[in-house]
A and B are shown apart, each in its own frame.
Chain A
Amino acid sequence: MSRRIAPVLAERSDDPRRAINLTVNGEAVTRDVSTRLLLSDFLRHDLRLTGTHVGCEHGVCGCCTVLIDGHSARSCLTLAVQADGSAIRTIESVAADDGTLHPVQRAFKECHALQCGFCTPGFVMSIVSHFEEAGTLDLSEDGVREMLSGNLCRCTGYQNIVAAVRRAAELMGRGGKG
């Protein structure tokens, strides 16, 4: 390649911007963001929390699932500015600081519930949110599959994910019907 004169290039887009304040994985964050920036892109590119994945950008696959104020949500269907003032939790916050896996993560590992791992953070966040909700868990085959029905996996055929949910319930002492 011949040496070329470096092009003049803006550092960033001319999009209108707004300051947002939120909590991400327990840490206060203040950032100036483009008003059309997706929460998924904000987490991944601005905060470099790349464990949240983007599989479809139209809310079907669930790879981008995070917890917003405790509720599972599609970060690809949420604007970063909409998350202003809220508390976000991503996959990076699930294991303990010393690296000890959360029971859901441990169960996934024990049950071979992941292959390529791309959909996995979304599944884990979704399952964690179900486990954190009060009430009885429906651990029947159909109940667990219903619990998982917001997330697509293309590798595992889901069977080992179903097993992992039950194993996690066992590890957490969470009984349930089924």
Chain B
Amino acid sequence: MATRGFGAPVQRTNDSRLLTGGGHYVDDIPLAGALHVAFVRSPFARARIKRIDVSAARAHSGVAAVYTADDLGALDVEMPLLIPHPCLIGPRTQRPLARGDVHHVGQTVAMVVAVDRYVAEDAARLIEVDYEPLPVELDLEKAIKSDAPLVHGDVKNNIAAHFVQTSGDPDGAFARATHFTKIRVRVERSTAAPMECRAVAARYDTVSGELTVWDGTQAPISVRGGLASLFGLDEDKVRVIAPDVGGGFGQKVLLFYPDEILVPFAAMRLGRPVKFIEDRSENFIGSTQERTQIHEIELAATKDGDVLALRDSFLHDTGAYIPYGIAIAQVASTSIAGPYRVPNIWVEFKAVYTPTVPVTPYRGCGRPHACFAIERAMDQLADELGLDRFEVRRRNLIAPAQFPYTRQGLLFADGLAVTYDSGEYAKALELIAKEIDVAAFRQEQATALKAGRYLGLGLAFYVEGTGLGPYEGGHVKVHPITGKVYVNTGLSGQGQGHETVFAQIVADQLGVDPNDVIVVEGDTGVFDWGVATFASRAAVVSGNAIHKAALKARAIVLEAASNMLEAAIDDLELVDGKVRVKGTDRGATLAEVATATNPLRYAFNKAAQSATQFAPAARHDGPQLGEGRAPGIEATDYYAPPHATWAYGVHAAIVEVDPGLCSIKFHRYLCVHDCGNMINPAIVEGQVMGGVAQGVGGAFYERVEYDVDGNPRNANFMDFLVPYATEVPRVEMHHMETPSPLNPLGVKGVGEAGCIAVGQVLASALDDALKPFGVAPFREVPLSPNAIFEAIEAAKGRRP
């Protein structure tokens, strides 16, 4: 029997290559004679450029070219506003190289191209730039005051967008309610920090006129379209390849980073391949970040804890530019009610410019913020009403019979009303309560306290709208010589395991081993319809497109084999790489069927010779290839989701706090997770565990710090603390599988899930652990030893 595909923890198909040093990341692509790029970047958060002198750099030995904005011609423009929205006020986007003003530390001002990176950096230091520094305001709440210095002179109060959405009748519900809970929470700036920084290489072939760009991007097709437009080239003359990419987490999908344009530009100008390999410090100041939001959330409830309505008003820091429009803030504001009914909602946000690295979606994209706000508020409500934290949630969860559950008036990132498609929320909550054994923990906690140890229970429930459109495609082709199956889609992977799960989907339909399915994605030279990898969408959107294409290919195989074997289609089965007449040993290999469906003049190999032993694959009297038919076994199809499909999960943890050292230790971390049908549980678990680790970073360790002048203070791995194995807990994983009714495979996205809940898990665990000190609830992430120290000190100060 062939290995079962869908649903099995199949080992990944390309790991041997990656494990033996055979990966091909952008900087590994051999490009003879490649030149290397270094940038001059702004050392000021806001300044006016008075003068740039590049003469010494141009004269430096080994330098091929130096460019400033003046040298860019038609490229000296603002980059596209990727997702326009009517609520945006004077939206501003990044430029390839600064013209006039700079808007954040790290902004690209000049570019040097030289024989190697060492020389390029030497020459970059020879470039003199005179800046006139301008005043800045980093504090979000002060930045929107009328006297605050402006990031962009023509954008009043630094407000980039203001948007209000309403669902139901919040005012009426607030008037009816008998209990009100209002809190303010804050999430701080962080960054994706993929292990491979961004990288771009380009080669221009003057003979064919083809521009080839290797880009560690999550969006090769979109980059291809954009580059063709900017350079005025035919699309088929531009090939963008995302080779192996060392993590992305959202940071690697921006159209465009300056280097994505300037590297191809220089390659065309200089007639030599050109490379830009971002270093770690540049990744901290040149590649996008996320997370800062300040929410004021108010719940209107009954005394029984039934939440009738909520109001949430928040500020969203968009950094120096807003290329993604309101994407992050919109996701946060529409995810704000979490898994709870809350039939009446009012949400408002202002997106605010600050002179910092621009903000674009980072794994979670507004969901961690929304989860933190609503879950902190639910905990507060429980405390105020004297209810157990599990109980207050239980009373508000959407019941299975209420799906699909629509929040009319709240438009999600796909522009459609928020509609949760399926879920078993109460069951998930019960499962985690049982697994963590709350009663037993309370005893353990009491015993520990007597011994001077402080344990706390953390709890968080989250939902995640995944699998956004518009669409993706799938292409399936059976190779006539080897019988191997080639599969393509337009989006690209950054380590998620697409090649394996897509192979599993196809393997089931064609009866082959997943290892005989070769998936090639992220190369516009191979397949160039589609969008990109973001919003936990690859399995949902490309997965279903590939599934549909595989069904078509299967039908072609069956029809041809039915003719070849002179058997009814219903009597055939596809197993072990063969089409077999059920209950017999009569059959044809997939290679033979693929050969037979391609009418050949020459029997150039054994498969072609052996194909002649069968009856013809096509049954008709006309030409060998029937009218309207294509040769071979090949099919393409597309999948466009009707709207987002909503995954969810509950996390809980037992955390010990050392009030002396103000350190934390996770004793247990539990996760109940439901992403619909799982294509590969091992890969799902990997995604969730990795997300939790990133969430732990965001909850306690990782914070991008800017000083009052807008200088990043910890733009390196010594000071920005990505957790090691010693900081990340083991995750006890429990799967639930509530299929999505929206797509043929019944799947939901999982890429971002793990990170969403962790801030709330830790904050609520610390609240619980430090109750004996009388600390006020934690309302800000990332937490830190300092935050614990200050909370304990403040509590001491409040004591009589």
How far, in angstroms, from A14 to B18 measured CA to CA in the complex? 36
Chain B residue with Cβ nearest A10? B62
**Are B686 and A112 in contact, with the CB atoms below 8 A?**
yes
Task: Kindly supply a per-residue 1/0 record for chain A positions 11-49, scoring 1 wherever the CB is within 8 Å of any chain B CB and 0 otherwise.
Answer: 111110000000000000000001011000000100011
* B199 vs chain A, min Cβ distance (A): 10
**Are A55 and B18 in contact, with the CB atoms below 8 A?**
no
How far, in angstroms, from A108 to B716 measured CA to CA in the complex? 28
How far, in angstroms, from A146 to B694 measured CA to CA in the complex? 19
**Are B693 and A116 in contact, with the CB atoms below 8 A?**
no
A1, A119, A162: the one contacting B195 at CB < 8 Å is A119
Chain A residue with Cβ nearest B122? A13
**Are B686 and A14 in contact, with the CB atoms below 8 A?**
no
Enumerate chain B residues within 8 angstroms of A9, measured Cβ to Cβ: 35, 62, 64, 115, 272
Chain B residue with Cβ nearest A106? B19
* A31 vs chain B, min Cβ distance (A): 15
**Are A124 and B12 in contact, with the CB atoms below 8 A?**
no
Enumerate chain B residues within 8 angstroms of A71, measured Cβ to Cβ: none
* A161 vs chain B, min Cβ distance (A): 7
How far, in angstroms, from A159 to B15 measured CA to CA in the complex? 17
- Known A7-B270, A155-B495; judge A63-B195 contact (CB<8 A): yes
- Known A58-B280, A112-B682, A154-B247; judge A149-B64 contact (CB<8 A): no
**Are A101 and B19 in contact, with the CB atoms below 8 A?**
yes
Enumerate chain A residues within 8 angstroms of B683, measured Cβ to Cβ: 112
A166 at the interface (CB under 8 A from B): no
Within 8 A of A (CB), among B159-218: 192-197, 204, 206
**Are B62 and A12 in contact, with the CB atoms below 8 A?**
yes
* Stretch of A77-85, A88-96, A170-178 lying at the B interface: A88-96
- Known A7-B65, A116-B247; judge A161-B725 contact (CB<8 A): yes
B584 at the interface (CB under 8 A from A): no
Interface centre among A105, A150, A158 (most CB of B within 10 A): A158
A114 at the interface (CB under 8 A from B): yes
**Are B61 and A10 in contact, with the CB atoms below 8 A?**
yes
**Are A108 and B19 in contact, with the CB atoms below 8 A?**
yes
B303 at the interface (CB under 8 A from A): no
Interface centre among B22, B23, B724 (most CB of A within 10 A): B724
Task: Kindly supply a per-residue 1/0 record for chain B positions 722-735, scoring 1 wherever the CB is within 8 Å of any chain A CB and 0 otherwise.
Answer: 10111010110000
**Are A116 and B270 in contact, with the CB atoms below 8 A?**
no
How far, in angstroms, from A60 to B62 measured CA to CA in the complex? 31
* A163 vs chain B, min Cβ distance (A): 10
Task: Kindly supply a per-residue 1/0 record for chain A positions 42-70, scoring 1 wherever the CB is within 8 Å of any chain B CB and 0 otherwise.
Answer: 00100011111111111011010000000
Chain B residue with Cβ nearest A156? B690
B28 at the interface (CB under 8 A from A): yes
How far, in angstroms, from A54 to B277 measured CA to CA in the complex? 10
B717 at the interface (CB under 8 A from A): yes
B443 at the interface (CB under 8 A from A): no
Enumerate chain B residues within 8 angstroms of A95, measured Cβ to Cβ: 19-20
Interface centre among B62, B206, B269 (most CB of A within 10 A): B62
**Are B494 and A160 in contact, with the CB atoms below 8 A?**
no
- Known A13-B119, A109-B15, A158-B725; judge A116-B686 contact (CB<8 A): no
Chain B residue with Cβ nearest A8? B64
**Are B690 and A154 in contact, with the CB atoms below 8 A?**
yes
* A121 vs chain B, min Cβ distance (A): 6
B15, B64, B115, B722: the one contacting A13 at CB < 8 Å is B115
Task: Kindly supply a per-residue 1/0 record for chain B positions 106-122, scoring 1 wherever the CB is within 8 Å of any chain A CB and 0 otherwise.
Answer: 00000000111011000
B718 at the interface (CB under 8 A from A): yes
B21 at the interface (CB under 8 A from A): yes
Within 8 A of B (CB), among A90-126: 90-92, 94-95, 99, 101, 105, 108-110, 112, 114-121, 124
**Are A116 and B20 in contact, with the CB atoms below 8 A?**
no
Enumerate chain A residues within 8 angstroms of B11, measured Cβ to Cβ: 109-110, 112
**Are B196 and A53 in contact, with the CB atoms below 8 A?**
yes
Interface centre among B118, B245, B689, B725 (most CB of A within 10 A): B725
A1, A53, A108: the one contacting B268 at CB < 8 Å is A1
Enumerate chain B residues within 8 angstroms of A114, measured Cβ to Cβ: 15, 18-19, 495
How far, in angstroms, from A119 to B686 measured CA to CA in the complex? 15
How far, in angstroms, from A36 to B116 measured CA to CA in the complex? 12
Interface centre among B271, B279, B495, B722 (most CB of A within 10 A): B495
A153 at the interface (CB under 8 A from B): yes
**Are A55 and B118 in contact, with the CB atoms below 8 A?**
no
Interface centre among A48, A52, A57 (most CB of B within 10 A): A57
Enumerate chain B residues within 8 angstroms of A151, measured Cβ to Cβ: 724-725
How far, in angstroms, from A16 to B43 measured CA to CA in the complex? 31
* B45 vs chain A, min Cβ distance (A): 24
B153 at the interface (CB under 8 A from A): no
Enumerate chain B residues within 8 angstroms of A145, measured Cβ to Cβ: 724-726
How far, in angstroms, from A108 to B15 measured CA to CA in the complex? 8
Enumerate chain A residues within 8 angstroms of B689, measured Cβ to Cβ: 156-160
Interface centre among A44, A50, A95, A155 (most CB of B within 10 A): A155
How far, in angstroms, from A7 to B115 measured CA to CA in the complex? 12
How far, in angstroms, from A53 to B730 measured CA to CA in the complex? 27
How far, in angstroms, from A159 to B692 measured CA to CA in the complex? 11
A52, A116, A124: the one contacting B246 at CB < 8 Å is A116
* B536 vs chain A, min Cβ distance (A): 15
* A77 vs chain B, min Cβ distance (A): 12
**Are A109 and B62 in contact, with the CB atoms below 8 A?**
no
**Are A116 and B495 in contact, with the CB atoms below 8 A?**
yes
**Are B16 and A155 in contact, with the CB atoms below 8 A?**
no
How far, in angstroms, from A63 to B246 measured CA to CA in the complex? 11
Enumerate chain B residues within 8 angstroms of A14, measured Cβ to Cβ: 61-62
A152 at the interface (CB under 8 A from B): yes
**Are B23 and A149 in contact, with the CB atoms below 8 A?**
no
B496 at the interface (CB under 8 A from A): yes
B709 at the interface (CB under 8 A from A): no
Task: Kindly supply a per-residue 1/0 record for chain B positions 677-692, scoring 1 wherever the CB is within 8 Å of any chain A CB and 0 otherwise.
Answer: 0000011011001111
- Known A50-B27, A112-B11, A160-B689; judge A58-B718 contact (CB<8 A): yes
**Are B195 and A55 in contact, with the CB atoms below 8 A?**
yes
How far, in angstroms, from A117 to B246 measured CA to CA in the complex? 7
**Are A53 and B246 in contact, with the CB atoms below 8 A?**
yes
Chain A residue with Cβ nearest B28? A50
B64, B194, B716: the one contacting A58 at CB < 8 Å is B716
* A72 vs chain B, min Cβ distance (A): 15
B25 at the interface (CB under 8 A from A): yes
A6 at the interface (CB under 8 A from B): yes
B632 at the interface (CB under 8 A from A): no
Enumerate chain A residues within 8 angstroms of B115, measured Cβ to Cβ: 9-13
B472 at the interface (CB under 8 A from A): no
Chain A residue with Cβ nearest B682? A112
**Are A155 and B271 in contact, with the CB atoms below 8 A?**
no
Task: Kindly supply a per-residue 1/0 record for chain B positions 611-626, scoring 1 wherever the CB is within 8 Å of any chain A CB and 0 otherwise.
Answer: 0000000000000000
Binding site for A on B (CB under 8 A): 9, 11-12, 15-16, 18-25, 27-28, 30, 35, 61-62, 64-65, 114-116, 118-119, 192-197, 204, 206, 244-247, 249, 268-272, 279-280, 494-497, 682-683, 685-686, 689-694, 716-718, 722, 724-726, 728, 730-731, 754
Interface pairs A-B: 7 shortest CB-CB: A51-B21, A116-B495, A118-B246, A117-B18, A157-B689, A157-B693, A60-B717
5 further contact pairs, Cβ within 8 A, besides A12-B62, A115-B686, A120-B19: A7-B64, A52-B21, A56-B716, A115-B495, A162-B725
